[in-house]
Amino acid sequence: MLTSWRLDQRLALDGVAAALVLVLAAGASLSALRGAAPWLWIASVIALIGLAVCVALRRIRPFATLPPASACMLALVVLPDLPGGVPPVLLPFTAIYPVLLYSVIAHTDHQVLPVACGLIGSALVVARTVVSFPGTGAPPVVLGAVAVASVLSAWALGRYRRIRVSYVRALEENAERAEQLRQEQVRAAIAAERRLIAREIHDVAAHSLAVVLTQADTARVLFDRDPERAREMLSTALEVGRDAMQEMRGMLGVLRSGDDPVSGDQDRDLDSLIGSFRQAGTDVELRSSGTRHDLGTAERHAVYRVVQESVTNALKHVGPEVRCRICLVWEPQRLTVIVTDDGPGTTDDLTARGGYGLVGMAERMRQIGGRFVVRSEPGAGTTVRAEFELGER
């Protein structure tokens, strides 16, 4: 929680802590300074204030506090004994130094230098104690053990804190990456859904409008010569239009409900599709060779849409007089769908024209692991070829 605070908040908190340390340490240490020379008293108070300032800056400038804190401790080591024979380095406020070592280790990448300073300082404190209390073995040994233990404890706690912070940051980064990945997946799903809607609407609208326009245009030409025939063609156009509206409503309903849009009513029969083209006056022939297999829903839908789009393109670009041949080549492990027309053909690259028709057919075949090719040559018409591997039978 503290690491998430702003810089001014952390500075204010450490400033309050430094003030408390200054007050408490002064209260515990000034009694030992009674009777000391003024310069010695002033030097000890300056060292106390310097260590308190380092406490205030220990988190925003952790490494910068190490040199002045070490200088204060060194000054206390070299100062003469206070009244009563106590070295200034043994005053209670010197316990601030391990806290500063902890801060350097916890908040910076420096590990060796603060520990080395702490151990060297421990050795100097022990040596200073030996000088002040010659001939006594136990106090220096105990003091040395406490000093070394405080340095090692500061290192261990600081290291643990740094590892803990790194671990939490790694978890946060992983969570952020996971959220970004989730958002990218959502965006990809939305884009795929949009492509699906555009492809489905194009397939339904292009086929139906091509038939309706062809019927209406022919009826307009025949209206004066053969009114009965014109009425039949207009009836066919109305029927195809109503079917298209019904199919569009069903498709949009499926898309809104989140179900598979290639299932149910969308899986129509090729015979019905070819019948609708023939009603529009188009010469469409369906041939099949080999042993027929049962197809999955996605495969049946892909075949249906490839045939629908291919004949619709021929009807739209050539006219109602076009002749189309649909050939289904059944092999033991493969189905090939070939749609040809006897139109004039073109030298243009059909795949570079854009639009949803050819792109939609290619995408459908990719979804079922198939291949899609369209070729057109002047005088040879246009050929659409789609093939895919059949599953285990």
Q: Which of 5-9, 26-30, 51-55, 125-129 has the lowest mean pLDDT?
A: 5-9
**pLDDT band per the 50, 70, 90 thresholds, residue 337:** very high
* Contact predicate 307/273, CB 8 Å: yes
**Helix (H) or strand (E) segment spanning residue 128:** helix 112-132
Task: Concatenate the DSSP letters of all residues of 29-61 into one string.
Answer: HGGGGTT--HHHHHHHHHHHHHHHHHHHTTTTS
Is the pLDDT score of 57 beyond 50?
yes
Q: What DSSP character marks residue 82?
A: B
- The predicted structure's pLDDT at residue 267: 42
Q: Which residue has the higher pLDDT, 364 or 189?
A: 364
Mean pLDDT of 175-192: 81
For residue 8, which phi and psi values (nearest 5 degrees)? -70, -30
Confidence bin at 169 (pLDDT 50/70/90): confident
Q: Provide the mean pLDDT of the chain.
A: 77
- Flag whether pLDDT at 296 surpasses 50: yes
Among 66-70, 134-138, 159-163, 181-185, which stretch is predicted with the lowest mean pLDDT? 134-138
Rounded CA separation 223/227 (Å)? 5
Gap between the Cα atoms of 280 and 271, Å rounded: 14
pLDDT of residue 229 exceeding 80, the answer is no
Q: What pLDDT, on the 0 to 100 scale, is given for residue 393?
A: 44
Pairwise CA distance, residues 372 & 358, whole Å:
9
At 263 the pLDDT is: 43
Give the mean pLDDT of 15-33.
66
What value does the mean pLDDT take over residues 237-257? 67
Residues 227-239, mean pLDDT to the nearest whole number = 75
More confident residue, 46 or 326: 326
Q: How far apart are the C-alpha atoms of 304 and 212, rounded to whole Å?
A: 19
Nearest to 264 by CA among 293, 297, 299: 297
Q: Which candidate, 384, 348, 349, 378, places its Cα nearest to that of 365? A: 384
pLDDT band per the 50, 70, 90 thresholds, residue 262: very low
The more confidently predicted of residues 78 and 349 is 78
- Average pLDDT over every residue of 153-182: 88
Query: Of residues 249 and 54, which shows the higher confidence score?
Result: 54
303-317: pLDDT as tens digits:
888 888 888 888 777
% of the chain with per-residue pLDDT over 90: 4
Residue, of 171 and 11, whose pLDDT is higher: 171
Give the model's confidence band at 252: pLDDT under 50 very low, under 70 low, under 90 confident, else very high: low
Beta strands 323-331 and 283-289 are parallel
The label of the residue with tokens 């002064």 reads: 26
Residue 27: its pLDDT value, please? 61
Tell me what pLDDT residue 308 has: 83
Q: Is the pLDDT of residue 133 over 70?
A: no
H-assigned helices in 223-269: 227-257
Amino acid 265: pLDDT: 41
Q: How far apart are CA 152 and CA 150, in angstroms?
A: 6
Q: What is the DSSP letter of 165?
A: H
Q: What is the pLDDT of residues 341-367, one digit of tens each?
A: 888 877 766 655 545 567 777 877 887
Supply the pLDDT for residue 25.
Answer: 65
The pLDDT assigned to 63 comes to 84
Q: What is the mean pLDDT of residues 76-100?
A: 77
Average pLDDT over residues 66-78: 85
Contact present, 321 and 351 (Cβ < 8 Å): no
Asked whether the predicted pLDDT for residue 383 surpasses 70, the reply is yes
Point out which residues pair with 374 in neighbouring strands: 384
Residue 86 has pLDDT above 50, yes or no: yes
Tokens of 128: 């200073």
Give the pLDDT confidence score for residue 9 in this predicted structure.
61
Half-sphere exposure of residue 198, counting CA atoms within 13 Å on the CB side? 14
**334, 387 in Cβ contact below 8 A?**
yes
Ramachandran region, residue 379 (left: φ > 0; alpha: ψ -120 to 50; beta: rest): left
For the entire predicted model, the pTM comes to 0.45
Phi, psi of 122 (to 5 degrees): -60, -40
What's residue 146's pLDDT? 83
Share of the chain above pLDDT 70, in %: 74
C-beta separation of 105 from 114 below 8 A? yes
335 phi, psi to nearest 5 deg:
-125, 130
Q: Buried b / exposed e across 193-204, counting CB within 10 Å, b at 16+?
A: eeebeebbebbb
Confidence at residue 367, expressed as pLDDT on a 0 to 100 scale: 79
Burial 320-355, CB ≥16 within 10 A → b, else e: bebebbbebeeeeeebbbbbbbbbebeeeebeeeee
Q: Quick one: pLDDT band at residue 380, thresholds 50, 70, 90?
A: confident
The answer to whether 210 touches 315, Cβ cutoff 8 Å, is: yes
Per-residue pLDDT at 330 exceeds 60: yes
